[in-house]
Every structure is written in structure tokens, then in C-alpha cells.
Homo-oligomer: A and B are copies of this chain.
Amino acid sequence: MSDIPETRRSLVLRRRPSGEPRREDFSLVEEPMPAPGEGEVLTRTILLSIDPYMRGRLSDRPSYAPSIALGEVMTGESVGEVLASGDPAFSPGDLVVGARGWQTHTLSPAGVLTPVAREKDIPLGAWLGVLGMPGTTAYSGMKDIGQPKAGETVVVSAASGPVGAVAGQLARRAGARVVGIAGGPEKCVWVQEKFGFDDCVDHHAANLADSLALACPNGIDVYFENVGGVVQEIVFRMLNVHARVVMCGMVAQYNEATFPRGPNLGFVVGRRVRIEGLLVGDHPERFAEWRALAAPWVRDGSLRFRQTVMDGLDAAPEALRLVLRGGNFGKMLVRVGPDPA
């Protein structure tokens, strides 16, 4: 349990980014530390989750992620330690996930917080990645849409990211041949050797279409889409009859002011493809379900993950910029405070 400082710091949106988000798009605001009222909990932020969907919140165009207003604290999930509680369910020293905000300390309604255990085999960051929203997204996408079967070929883009890594490992567990797409040889080696994908193709390579054709000699039955753009184009041409496409994200275009045209959809009729959008928030029951299912796999090391940690609240905008251009390697986290003693 820590002492409570007199002030807290928050990053608020100063202007809407044009293209990549930058530190100058945010202001650092210092204010007196709030005290929790009844049913509220004050936490100090330990780790902040940085995710591609956040770009949508910075823009005022329609997106699945509602915009935040100018002058508002940027939202984002974190792992924190309770400092003071106005709710009997939480006590100082408890570790929780679910507080939202790019800030050193967060006041939250108790109802949004989930207690997490202190366990030596589950690092705190895992509750924001493999066991958190990204892992649950992969789980829901594969369970509700992709439904890979033994012997099928599954392709996952952004395969070294926290969603892709879980999506691919789940497809492997289902007995599918799993091919990742990732940016650069270092990530590709990791995806194959550490995450256990059958193959991984570098989307920076000159002949992505040829490499992917080599890696998927029987075509593609399930595509877990995280990126869009040219990768989408190439994968769609290889989809088999009755293929399923889990549309999780199209991060390649999140910084763009206007969106390029997409594929002609004639193939959807011809090959009876199912293309379906996924927002994990539509399936709230999947979060606890996934934590219960996957925590043992994290403990026994059979579900692998990786994280990149940047340091200090101030680094959050740069962390987001990197996530949007594939500059992270695994789950991107920002360390705002020390782990509990």
C-alpha cells in the first residue's frame, strides 16, 4: 500500500491529430488528488494498455470507438493498485484492472473494476493483453466467427500483436495449419518459434502474394483481419469456398483522412465467403470466460505472449503512434508506476 500524493497528472486531448498522433496533441494537466465518494475507488496506475482502437477516439469521424471531446482525459484500460475505496468490495492494496484513463491516478465506479490476483506466473501486464481485451477479442473472434477446424488453413495478420498471437495459437489448438503475417524477419521468427505458428510471412517482403501462396498451398479457410490495405487484398484473393473472415481491425488505415476503395465483393457470392465484424464489447460474457479458460494456459506456459513496455505517462502518445505503425512487438504497455511491493 502506498501513500497518496497531493496531486495527479492526466493527459487530455488538446487537438485532434492529423495523421499520426503526437505528444503535442495532448496536454499534461496536474490537479488535486480526488477522494473517492461512496461506491468509488481511487487507484494508482501501474500499467496502461495502448491499443489501435484508441485512434478512433481521437477522431471526430464515426468509428466503433466513440470520440473523446477536446479537453477530456484520454481513455485507456489500466492495471492499478487501490489507494482508497468508498466501496466495501475493494480495499487499499488490491490490484485491479478496468480503470480507464491516461492518468497517474484514476477515480472509478467500483462496478467497472475487476480484481486481479498477485501471481508469480502471471505478470500484471498479462491482464491487459493475453488475458485482457486483446486476448478476449481473439477468443471471441475465433469462437463466434472464425471457427477453425482441424486441417483448415488459418491466416492471421498482425500475428505478433496481442490479438493475432492469441488468435493463431487458438487456431493451432483447433488443429488448423496457421500462417501469420507480420512486419519484418524478427517478428516472423518469433511468431513461428515462440508462438508456434506453422509459418509466418513478412508483409514488407517484395512478393507477399507469392510468399503467402507458398505458405498456404491449400488456400485460406479463415482469415483473422487486423490490418486491411494490401494484405487484405492479397489474402482475399486466396480465400476458399466457405471461408470466414473475422474483421477485427484495419489498422493500416486508422491514421488516414480518407479511406481507399476496397475489394470488389463478387468473390463473396462466388465463394460463399462470410465476412463479419467483431467488437469484443458486444460479447461481455466472453471476458470472464476467457480469463477462466486461458489463465491456466498462461501459468503452464502453453499460451505464449510478448509485451513491449515504454516508460512514463508522457510516453503514451508515442506508444500509440508506434502501435499504429507496427512499431510495437507484442502487447504495448506504458509503465506509469512501480509494481506493488
* A residues lining the B interface (CB < 8 Å): 56, 62-64, 228, 232, 242, 247-250, 253, 259-279, 282
Contacts and interface: CB of A to CB of B under 8 A. Distances in A.
Nearest to A236: B265
A270 B232 contact: no
A262 B264 contact: yes
Contact of A261 (B56, B250, B262, B276): B262
A276 B277 contact: no
Contacts of A269: 64, 247-250, 277-279
Nearest to A260: B264
Contact of A275 (B250, B261, B274, B282): B274
A277 B274 contact: yes
A86 B32 CA distance: 94
A250 B270 CA distance: 10
A109 B276 CA distance: 40
Nearest to A279: B272
A228 B268 contact: no
Contact of A277 (B56, B253, B272): B272
A228 B282 contact: no
